[in-house]
Chains A and B, each alone.
Chain A
Amino acid sequence: MPMLLAIELAYWQETAIKVAVMAVLVPTTALILGIVFLFKMMSWMQSRMGPQEAGPRGLLQLLADGVKFLQKEDIIPDAADRFVFKAAPIVVLVSTFLTYVVVPAGPDLVIENLPTGIFFAMAVSSLSVIGVLMAGWASSNKYALMGGLRAAGQLIAYELPLVLAVTGVVIQVGSLSMQDIVWAQATGEIFGWGGIGLPLILTQILAFFVFMAAVQAELAQPPFDMPIAETEVVGGYHIEYTGFRFLFFFLGEFATAFAFAAIAATLFLGGWYVPGIPPDSVWANVVGPIALFVKIMFVSFLIFWFRFTYPRFREDQLQTFAWKYLIPLSLVNITVTGIVVVAF
């Protein structure tokens, strides 16, 4: 950041800029995902044309929907625990915001290059469980309670394969820092050929699969959407939320999808690195965000493609899937990676 701006900024100025960037970035990413995938791609997959009225080719539909949510009455059930009810969406949103902090978009474009970056991302992303559980409990609604408990069980169960899948990458790279992981991929070589670096998806394909499955569950997207399954628990923990509080959940869901796609792109697809552009050049700071965005869109496409194709699991089948398949698979991956790293 200082190199790019070429001026020394006071700590508070730097922080203010970072906060402003985040405040703009997070809702924008949610909007982009919502429009491109939820509205347009889903419509095309269902032989429809999607929204057409708001803006050119209906591209502003989600913005219009957001404004509509803001206009709606803010309803809080009589029997609800008012403070917890109000706090829950904010907790979910905070966890989403914090996840963005460590994702690098270029050699110098990162909000905070923590040495334990990926560990931090995993940790804060699991904060949302608390928000979801708070929402489910405070709504004083049976469906919300069921949805909240389902969500809690599911998110905790899938935290484990998520972390274990990342561990494989971390062992191979030897660092928890997201920047180091990208550098390792940029400077890596495939049997002596360094043309495209070494995207870790080639060596960690198993981890990528586990990571994507766990992400799908973390985001509560079909086939793992029981917490909000509208035909069973009618929206689950956000059944009682209206207006801007519901908008928070919505933003949280899609912004988290973007964040996880960014993490997946960084861990497995090389992040901001573009083959042909040296990672230490200034150009990498310009092309980097674009490359990262393209990779994120690819990963998000996968996430949403699964979402629109599959029916959902049952709660116990989901747990079975996590404990009997994903976790052993990721353990095998860690073992193999560890042996290979130590042996060579």
Chain B
Amino acid sequence: MTLTESQQLAYVAAQAADARVNLQFETDDGMTLNIGPQHPATHGTLRIIVRLDGEQVVRAEPYPGYMHRGYEKLCEVRTYPQVTTLVNRIDWLGSFANEVPFILAAEKLMDIEAPPRAQVIRTILFELSRMANVSLFLGDLGIQLGGITIGFYAFRDREFVLNQIESATGGRFHPNFDRIGGLKDDLPKGWIAETKRCMERMRTFCDQFETLVLGNEIFQARTRGIGVIPPDVARSYGLTGANIRGSGVDWDLRRDSVPPGLSYDKADWKVHTHPDGDSFARTWVRLQEVRESTLIVDQLLDAIPSGPVMAKVPRIIKVPEGEAYVATENPLGEMGYYVVSKGDLVPFRVKIRSASFNNISIVPWVTRGVFVPDMVTILASLYFILGDIDR
């Protein structure tokens, strides 16, 4: 294989950058540990370079970028309907939630509103993807702490949620179901009843998790007081989602500034916060969130209005000139799309604000002086998805 000159230059530059990072960490005395890019605790290819004094962390630096796929740039050469298939892959555990903010931004630019039925179904699917995502987080936290059984329970019960997503959208992981002006299709017959059964199942899972993990004294000893993030620090690092709610900040985009196109106001629910700000608090908040999500879905399933699921939208979508930023409360935190349009078939620029990137930015701060096992706990409780970090 022959490389062009520019490719060679880029390769040399990358090598040099890598060497610089290594040098910077190898010349100090003490032990440097490369956690990742392939390490079970980073669930993916996050590289964290840790300076250790014994087993105590002196300094930890995350080096993301091993899974960079260039979605912001790819979006500039895809038409608006094609973008949803790409952004599905950002946070791959809650894919449907990735499509929604982009579609809402496009709808805002085009000044279209989805019909009420589509809005409600969209919200239901949004919450289902939240459940699929967060329930796996709960299981993964158990795996990280050594209790593998709860991980299997999470995989087992998430499957029921995925089945519901699949039977409505056709895709288990990459639904690609949201469209500008509504949804691709209506729900199949019997879906509502089946989803209600699934919600029962999820609530049982939450109870099991509470008994098996949250109530376990070993788990509490491992997480309580570990990785404490005070509210002001959480704000200054731009944490969002359950991480900031675990620090006691009452902040939820679903309630505070829900963009038009999602109907959270039709359900009666509340935002859970925990004052402690430690790993336990974050886990607790996430568990309550899954519970609350099942309740939201249950209420919305009863409130689906009849009507079409697609507004009148031109067949060839050209978005008028302008720019819009729409953010929603995704499973991992605030996810926003800043879309600039020049009136073309393709967006001129898409800036993706994904939650995990900001959430791991606090790792150097919060892991100072902790032990390696605690670092694993903190990483697991901060909860990141590699695709969401690197995009």
Q: Do chains A and B touch in the complex (CB under 8 A)?
A: yes
Contacts of B222 in A (CB 8 A): 311-314, 317
Q: Does B116 contact A (CB under 8 A)?
A: no
Q: Does A180 contact B (CB under 8 A)?
A: no
Contacts of A308 in B (CB 8 A): 148-149
Contacts of A71 in B (CB 8 A): none
Supposing A45-B149, A225-B146, A313-B221 touch, asked if A232 and B216 sit within 8 A by C-beta, the answer is no
Q: Does A199 contact B (CB under 8 A)?
A: no
Q: Smallest CB–CB gap between A327 and chain B, Å?
A: 19
Contacts of A143 in B (CB 8 A): 33
Q: Does A229 contact B (CB under 8 A)?
A: yes
For A280-314 the 0/1 string (1 means CB < 8 A from B) is 00000000000000000000000000001111111
Q: Does A142 contact B (CB under 8 A)?
A: yes
Q: Does B317 contact A (CB under 8 A)?
A: no
Q: Smallest CB–CB gap between A33 and chain B, Å?
A: 18
Contacts of A233 in B (CB 8 A): 372
Q: Evaluate contact between B40 and A314: CB separation under 8 angstroms.
A: no
Q: Does A26 contact B (CB under 8 A)?
A: no
Closest to A146 in B: B55
Contacts of A234 in B (CB 8 A): 39-40
Q: Does B127 contact A (CB under 8 A)?
A: no
For B149-166 the 0/1 string (1 means CB < 8 A from A) is 100110010000000000
Q: Evaluate contact between B373 and A226: CB separation under 8 angstroms.
A: yes
Contacts of A229 in B (CB 8 A): 146, 373
Q: Evaluate contact between B373 and A310: CB separation under 8 angstroms.
A: no
Cα-based distance from A315 to B218 in the complex (angstroms): 12
From B31, B218, B372, contact of A311 by CB (8 A): B218
Q: Evaluate contact between A312 and B152: CB separation under 8 angstroms.
A: no
Q: Does A316 contact B (CB under 8 A)?
A: yes
Q: Which of B351-370 contact A (CB under 8 A)?
A: none
Q: Does A222 contact B (CB under 8 A)?
A: yes
Q: Smallest CB–CB gap between B156 and chain A, Å?
A: 5
- Stretch in B97-105, B137-145, B308-316, B328-336 with 4+ CB within 8 Å of A: B137-145
- Number of interchain pairs (Cβ within 8 Å): 76
Cα-based distance from A222 to B371 in the complex (angstroms): 19
Q: Smallest CB–CB gap between B255 and chain A, Å?
A: 33
Q: Does B171 contact A (CB under 8 A)?
A: no
Q: Evaluate contact between A46 and B212: CB separation under 8 angstroms.
A: no
Supposing A48-B152, A308-B148 touch, asked if A142 and B41 sit within 8 A by C-beta, the answer is no
Q: Does B259 contact A (CB under 8 A)?
A: no
Q: Smallest CB–CB gap between A219 and chain B, Å?
A: 14
Q: Smallest CB–CB gap between B2 and chain A, Å?
A: 32
Q: Does B388 contact A (CB under 8 A)?
A: no
The size of the chain A interface, using a CB distance under 8 A, is: 28
Q: Smallest CB–CB gap between B149 and chain A, Å?
A: 5
Q: Evaluate contact between B152 and A47: CB separation under 8 angstroms.
A: yes
Q: Smallest CB–CB gap between A220 and chain B, Å?
A: 11
Q: Does B374 contact A (CB under 8 A)?
A: yes
Cα-based distance from A322 to B25 in the complex (angstroms): 36
Closest to B374 in A: A314
Q: Evaluate contact between A232 and B372: CB separation under 8 angstroms.
A: yes
Cα-based distance from A226 to B144 in the complex (angstroms): 12
Cα-based distance from A225 to B221 in the complex (angstroms): 16
Q: Does B348 contact A (CB under 8 A)?
A: no
Q: Does B147 contact A (CB under 8 A)?
A: yes
Q: Smallest CB–CB gap between B44 and chain A, Å?
A: 13
Q: Evaluate contact between A232 and B41: CB separation under 8 angstroms.
A: yes
Cα-based distance from A116 to B259 in the complex (angstroms): 77
Q: Does B213 contact A (CB under 8 A)?
A: yes
For B206-221 the 0/1 string (1 means CB < 8 A from A) is 0000001100101101
Q: Does A13 contact B (CB under 8 A)?
A: no
Q: Evaluate contact between A142 and B372: CB separation under 8 angstroms.
A: no
Q: Does B376 contact A (CB under 8 A)?
A: yes
Q: Smallest CB–CB gap between B135 and chain A, Å?
A: 15
Q: Does A51 contact B (CB under 8 A)?
A: no
Q: Does A230 contact B (CB under 8 A)?
A: yes
Cα-based distance from A313 to B374 in the complex (angstroms): 10
Q: Smallest CB–CB gap between A328 and chain B, Å?
A: 19
Cα-based distance from A225 to B144 in the complex (angstroms): 12
Q: Smallest CB–CB gap between A139 and chain B, Å?
A: 15
Q: Smallest CB–CB gap between B365 and chain A, Å?
A: 21
Contacts of B372 in A (CB 8 A): 146, 232-233
Q: Does A223 contact B (CB under 8 A)?
A: yes
Cα-based distance from A47 to B142 in the complex (angstroms): 16
Give B residues with C-beta under 8 Å from A: 31, 33, 39-41, 55, 142-149, 152-153, 156, 212-213, 216, 218-219, 221-222, 371-374, 376
If A233-B372, A313-B221, A313-B222 are given as contacts, then 20 extra A-B residue pairs at C-beta distance below 8 Å, sorted by A number, are A46-B152, A143-B33, A222-B146, A229-B146, A231-B41, A231-B143, A232-B373, A234-B39, A234-B40, A308-B148, A311-B142, A311-B145, A311-B147, A311-B213, A311-B216, A312-B146, A314-B373, A314-B374, A315-B55, A315-B373
- Report the 3 A-B pairs with minimum CB-CB distance, sorted nearest first: A312-B146, A46-B152, A311-B145
Show 18 A/B contacts (Cβ-Cβ < 8 Å), sorted by A. Answer: A45-B149, A46-B156, A48-B152, A142-B31, A146-B372, A223-B146, A226-B373, A231-B146, A233-B372, A234-B39, A309-B149, A310-B146, A311-B146, A311-B218, A311-B219, A311-B222, A314-B221, A315-B373
